[in-house]
Structures are given as C-alpha cells and as structure tokens.
Amino acid sequence: MRGMAQGRIAIVGTGGTISSIGRDVFDLHDYDATGKMLDAAEILDRLPRGANDPECYPVPFLSVSSTRIGFPEWRSLVVLCGNIVEQDPGVAGIVILHGTATLEETAFFLHLTLKVDVPVVVVGAQRPWNGLSSDAGLNLRNAIRVAASDEARGLGVLVLLNDEVHSARDVTKGSTTRLHSFHSPVHGPIGQADSDRVVFYRTPTRRRAPDTEFDIAGIEALPRVDILYAYAGSDDVLAKAALAAGAEGIVSAGFAPGSPNPMEAAVLREAAAAGTIIVQSTRAGSGRVLPTTELVAAGFISADDLTPQKARILLALALIRTTDAAEIDRMFRTY
C-alpha cells in the first residue's frame, strides 16, 4: 500500500469506549455499567483486516475508563513506548487505544514528553465495540494505517477519529456522543484516512515530540496546577482554596477573550506577585488570549490558544524545569 512503512504496529490498550462491550447492540450510552472491556489482544482478534494491512501485535497495559487516567498512567505510557521501540527494532509505529473523556489530554502529554521517533497515534471511539454502527473497528484500522504511514513520522503525537487525523496539540472533544465529536478549532485536521490511502495536508509548526525539553524520568508527581472556571457571579473562594491547597500554578479558564472575574483577578494578581505562575486561558474553546496591558500588568502568562486542560499540562511540565515566569512564557509560545 502506497506510503505505508515496512514493519509492525504495536497496539497498546488502555480501555475506554473503544474497548467496551454493551448489553446489546442498542446500548450506546450505558455500556460502562456492564464492566466489560476487551484487552488489546481480544480487540485485534475481532478486527477485520485488509490484505495489505501491516502486521500488528498487542501490548498489555490497562482496561479502564479514561476518567481514571492521569500522570501515573501517562508516565507509564512514556516508559512503555520507549521500551517497545528499544526492544523491537522492526516496529514502525504505535497505536494507543483510549477512552475519549481524557484522550486529548493523554495525547498532548505524550506530544510533549515522548522520546521515540516512530509515529504514535491515539485512537478512541464514541460507540462501544458491539454497538450498532460502532465506529470502534474502523477507527482502529485507520489508526493502524496512519501509524504505518511514512508521512506520519515527525508530526508529533496524532489523534485519529471519524476518518480525520489531528495534531494532539490542537484536537479537542466537542460533543458528548456524536461520532464527529473530535475536531481542531480554527486549525482543522492535518490529514485524513480515506478508504484508498492516508493523506496529509499540513505539518504542525509548534515544537513537539521527540524534540522537546521535557523529561519526566524520575519524576514521581507533577506540580499541582489547578483550573479555575469563570462564570457570571463567581467570586474568589475557589482561587483562595487552590492556593491554600498548595497550587504551584493556576490556569484561569476565563471569560473570552481572556480574563477572570474581578474578585478572582485580585487574588490571582497577589499570587503572581508572590511567585505563583498564573496562566490565562479562556472558556471559549478556541482563539488566542492576547497579551493585553491588563494581563501583562497582572503578571499573567497567556495560554496562547491552548484549552485550559492542555494549558494545565504544559504549565505542570514547565514547572518541573523552572519557576521563572519569562521562561514559562517562552514555553507557551514554543509548544
């Protein structure tokens, strides 16, 4: 198949909807109640394959809802991907099966921390494996094809759902259950997995794995970073609570185009002056937070166009390296 690298694809299972088995074919929303999830080997056994599809093999890892995934699992995935590449010189790419709830966060963390040079594709599904019109099987087959594509190399971590290839930096989940839930606001997908071949149309320009400055080897826990969501009538209680809990950084998911409410802003300005890193994002879902006079005077860092949940990941990784606000500001303009 044109554009497909020679070699094997490792399939890492973490659980999620793509691995789930509902009560029957019509169970498209309450399938978690069954507690049934297939592991990577079982999924590969059930996956229809084309004559030219690359060889795949399962790598045992987890079978959980992605709401249970955080830094310990991310750290283990980084180590696991490194081990796969080190132990299998013939591996051409890695596919990670993942629940959609935190898929974008796992993908972005790996996008910033992986040190492997093969394509890594994170894939999920909006409907369980045995559901009527499930997207699980086709999404997985397409993710395998993307991971085996020569053109996928050097693009950082990729996300595949609904025939679209997205950069882990840009993609977000925009609907609870629709098949077209995952999208990249403003920037759009970087490619697509069509029935005849995988095609790419743009290359991400922001710095990405494996060429990043973040190394989590030996890190037991990320610095505490909390997200504060702005809403009409909110006050400063949650900001004070986050600081009292020991937050080393705070992401303000502020009103668009990027500001907290006045009471919260006052607390965050004091915190910034005392050395806590405050990153200003927005609840809007897309668009850059511009460095206004007010933002600069407050000592806040712009999240650029990162969503609050992704700004939190970048800030936590940045705080491993430095507490210098100017350096962290550079990182937000780099990644």
Residues belonging to the active site: 17
Residue 157 bridge partners (DSSP)? none
Residue 31 bridge partners (DSSP)? none
SS3 198: strand
Classify burial at 184, counting beta carbons within 10 Å of its beta carbon; exposed 0-12, middle 13-18, buried 19 or more: buried
From CA 213, how far away is CA 317, in angstroms rounded? 10
- Token duo for residue 298: 């407050």
From CA 177, how far away is CA 27, in angstroms rounded? 12
Angle of CA points 37, 159, 317, to nearest 5°: 95
- Token duo for residue 37: 């999830």
Classify burial at 24, counting beta carbons within 10 Å of its beta carbon; exposed 0-12, middle 13-18, buried 19 or more: exposed
Confirm if 179 and 100 have CB atoms less than 8 A apart. Answer: no
